[in-house]
Structure 1
């Protein structure tokens, strides 16, 4: 089996990376950063996001597993003191593959036939380069509303615990192929109205945002910030591709939610 390692680059993560690399090669695995079958992420959720985007062209052939060297993450199953146990599991155990939905983001440009397409593991946000974002929101070819506010966030189910939750969105189990649109400080008064609530959209729906005011937008794709100019529209769908995680033991989603947001000692 071929493997690669993504480190957060702090002292602890780098030490664990070198130890894991040594142990895995001793077990006969091959270190290959170009075509790994399994990627070990050592750090936090941000580290795994970097690993995902690095290997998103290999999603059908690569599975991810994480060691968290900070606070408990939603994508990192293992603690630093369990590293040797994980290495033995990787070398000797047939792992279960768990797949999570992804978000496909397509940016169409004015007066251009080309478009840009991205995949997001957590979410994509859109904000205006000016003070207020003004866009028409279209659902399945039908006009839904004209949004005015700071911005909009479209998240995946696994990303629903991140920025989406801070915006008041629902937490969605990642077994559900869906996407969620949440508002950022919408303008609601006697003149301007929005639905004022997050929208959970199934995987056969498409959401299109068309600019009304200003064609330049700041978009984020997970941790990546991108300024797009002369934008005609932004399209969101649940992606055909899915991210694959290697599971060597149960890692219940709701337990992660409980331990992260409530209290693991209660």
Structure 2
């Protein structure tokens, strides 16, 4: 950590955090860190807020591979991505200075829509009907037909995203040491014409999932990438797989993924 000295702070509302941000900046400078004004000049990006703020920090900075991300919570408790609290910044800076932290690596989803460009997600990618009507998608795994889905939509989550939207639709919580995708249905319709697996399933990180939207007038679905919406007309095919990109975050040595799961849910 000693060679990483340039810090960029990402936050949403400076006025509410003015005093605490000033304390964070002064503490960082006390320990010989430099706070920079441009994200590309940083090798440590600190999000101050919530898990949602962390997701935005990663997205707005371009899913960088050459830096560390740090989540600092301003809420009553820590989150899945926030290992530190704004009231304990001295502990965080000391840990970074004295190498009392470990680097955690999180996989990233790569989404290609209509073979026209890639998007990235740290938590999940979701696709839902854009109108009050079910829609139909043909599901392929490694370009081999798997099932035809009809319903409200589908959710594809990373292991870290498995504790978020995925959990609310009865998906499994997956250890982030397993590079994989989890696919969950949203209100699927099963009858004599349409038949789906009816449960979440997990794909190896080496596999590709493809969704082909059946063009029945509902080809303008609502798509979500983490906590942001994506608006694209005439969606025909979506290819989803794990990216080669890895998001590196820091954690205290006594704060594992499963300790966080226990703290938040149990």
Question: TM-score scaled by structure 1?
Answer: 0.90
1:233–1:54: structure 2 CA closer, same or farther, 3 Å change rule? same
Residues 63 and 245 of structure 1 are in contact (CA less than 8 Å); yes or no, is this contact kept in structure 2? yes
Aligned length: 256
Residues 39 and 63 of structure 1 are in contact (CA less than 8 Å); yes or no, is this contact kept in structure 2?
Answer: yes
What is the CA–CA distance in structure 2 between the aligned matches of 1:230 and 1:147, rounded to whole Å?
18
- Could you list the runs of 5+ residues in structure 1 that have no partner in the other structure? 109-113
Deviation, 1:57, is 4.7
Alignment-derived partner of residue 50 in structure 1 = 56
- Counterpart contact for 1:105–1:237, Cα < 8 Å: yes
Please say which of residues 198-207 and 250-259 is displaced more in the overlay: 250-259
Alpha-carbon distance between aligned partners in 1 of 2:169 and 2:209, rounded to the nearest angstrom: 19
* 1:73 paired to 2:79: yes
The reply on whether 1:37 has 2:43 as its aligned counterpart is: yes
Superposed displacement of residue 61, structure 1: 1.1
Partner of 1:182: 184
SS in 2 for 1:19: helix
The structural deviation recorded for 1:124 is 0.6
- Say which is worse superposed, 130-139 or 179-188, in terms of deviation: 130-139
What corresponds to 2:160 in structure 1? Answer: 158
Q: Distance in 2 between matches of 1:156 and 1:127?
A: 18
Do residues 98 (structure 1) and 98 (structure 2) align?
A: no
Q: For the structure 1 residues 44 and 57, does the alpha-carbon distance in structure 2 shift closer, same or farther, using more than 3 Å as the test?
A: closer
Please list every run of 5 or more consecutive structure 2 residues that lacks an aligned counterpart in the other structure: none
Rounded Cα–Cα distance in structure 2 between residues aligned with 1:158 and 1:257: 10
Provide, for residues 205-256 of structure 1, a one-character-per-residue CA deviation record: whole Å limited to 9, x for no partner: 0000001133222111011101211222001001110100023433111111
Q: Distance in 1 between matches of 2:200 and 2:207?
A: 15
Which residue is equivalent to 2:210?
A: 208
**Structure 1 Cα separation of the partners of residues 194 and 251 of structure 2:** 48
RMSD: 1.7
**Aligned counterparts of 1:57 and 1:121: Cα–Cα separation in 2:** 9
Moved over 4 A (4+): none
